[in-house]
Amino acid sequence: MIEATEPFAMFAEAILPSDLPDALYMHLGAIAEQCELAAHEVQTHSGDAEKLIFIAQGSAKLVAKGAGEREQIIGFHFAGDFLRLPCPCEHSYTLVALEDAQLLVFSASQFVELARGEPGILQHLLDQSATMLDRSREKSIVLGRKNACERMASFLLSMARRIGEEQADTIRLTLPMSRREIGESLGLTIETVSRQLTLLRDAQIIETHGRNQVILRHPEELQKRSGWLTRAN
C-alpha cells in the first residue's frame, strides 16, 4: 500500500521514532492530509486551526502579508522540514511553494493529541521548534543589525548549510527562489540584492550561472563578510 517514495513514508522516516507502535503509525497516517502544490501555488488551509506541515518534496516560503504590496518572507523551507503554520485567524501567514512540492498537512491539535502518549514524538517536535526558533532569532540579527553586504553573505552561507552541495572546497547552490524573494526575505530590494551579488562576483568570491546557480568559491571569505562572530548551523 505505502510505497517508499510516498510522503507519509518519508515523514515517518524523518520524524517518527523507528519503534513506533503500528496502531499509532496508522492513526497518524489517517489524519495526515496530502497536498501537492505547483510552483508558486499557495497552500490553502482547510479550517482555521494551527497546522503542522511536513515538506516531503520541493521547497516553500512562509510569507507574512502586509498592507498594500508589502510582504516579508519569514523563512524558506526545504524537503525534510517540519514546520508550524499559525492559525490564519491570528496572523496572515501563508505557505507558498517555490517549486513543485509535496506536503503533508496535520491539524496541530490532532497531531499532539495522538502524540501525547509518545514522548519521543513530542520531543522531536520540541527539537524542531527549537531549530525554527534559532533560525528565526538568527534572522532577527540579520534584519536588525546587518548591512546589505552582510545580509547577502549570511543568506548564501545559510543556504549553503541547508541545500548546498559540497565540491572540493567550493559549494554549489541551486536556488529555488527569485531575486525578489531573496530580497523579501532579507529586507532588501531586488536591486540591492542584484548589486550585492555583482560585487561578490567581481570579488571572485562567488560565480553565478544562469539565474539560480551559484557557486561559492570562497565560503570563508563570505564568513568574514557576514559580520558578527556568532555562527552555527
Partner DNA sequence: CGCCCATTTGAGCGGAATCAAGATCAGTGG
Partner DNA sequence: CCACTGATCTTGATTCCGCTCAAATGGGCG
Query: Which range, of 18-26, 135-143, 198-206, 208-216, touches a second copy by CB under 8 A?
Result: 135-143
Nearest residue (CB) to DNA, 115 versus 193? 193
The grid coordinates listed for 212 are 539560480
List the single partner that 38 binds among DNA, a second copy, none, CB under 5 to 8 Å by kind. none
Sequence length of the chain is 233
Neighbours of 132 (CB within 10 A): 18
CB 63 within 8 A of CB 30: no
- Provide the 3-class DSSP secondary structure of residue 36: strand
Backbone angles phi, psi at 40, to 5 degrees: 75, 5
Over the window 171 to 210, marking each residue x when it contacts DNA by CB under 7 A and - when it does not, the resulting string is -------xxx------xxxxxxxxx-xx---------x-x
- Work out how close the CB of 4 gets to a second copy at its nearest, in angstroms, rounded to a whole number: 30
Choice from 137, 161, 180, 209 touching a second copy (CB under 8 A):
137
Site for a second copy in 19-38 (CB under 8 A): none
- Work out how close the CB of 93 gets to a second copy at its nearest, in angstroms, rounded to a whole number: 8
Q: Which residues pair with 85 in a beta bridge?
A: 51
Is 69 an interacting residue with respect to DNA (CB under 7 A)? Answer: no
- Work out how close the CB of 190 gets to DNA at its nearest, in angstroms, rounded to a whole number: 5
Q: Which residues pair with 78 in a beta bridge?
A: 59
Cα–Cα distance between 162 and 95 in angstroms, integer?
19
Cα–Cα distance between 91 and 73 in angstroms, integer?
13
Is 187 an interacting residue with respect to a second copy (CB under 8 A)? Answer: yes
Look up cell 516553500; give the residue: 60
Give the contacts of 120 (CB within 8 A, at least 6 positions apart). 17, 20
List the single partner that 20 binds among DNA, a second copy, none, CB under 5 to 8 Å by kind. none
Choice from 129, 147, 167, 174 touching DNA (CB under 7 A):
147
Query: Which range, of 51-59, 127-135, 146-154, 157-165, touches DNA by CB under 7 A?
Result: 146-154
CB 32 within 8 A of CB 8: yes
Burial of 13 (0-12, 13-18, 19+ CB in 10 A): exposed
* Site for DNA, rule CB under 7 A: 147-149, 178-180, 187-195, 197-198, 208, 210-212
* Site for a second copy, rule CB under 8 A: 50, 64-67, 70-72, 74, 84, 86, 90-93, 112, 115-117, 119, 122-123, 125-126, 129-130, 132-134, 136-141, 143-145, 185-187, 227-230, 232-233
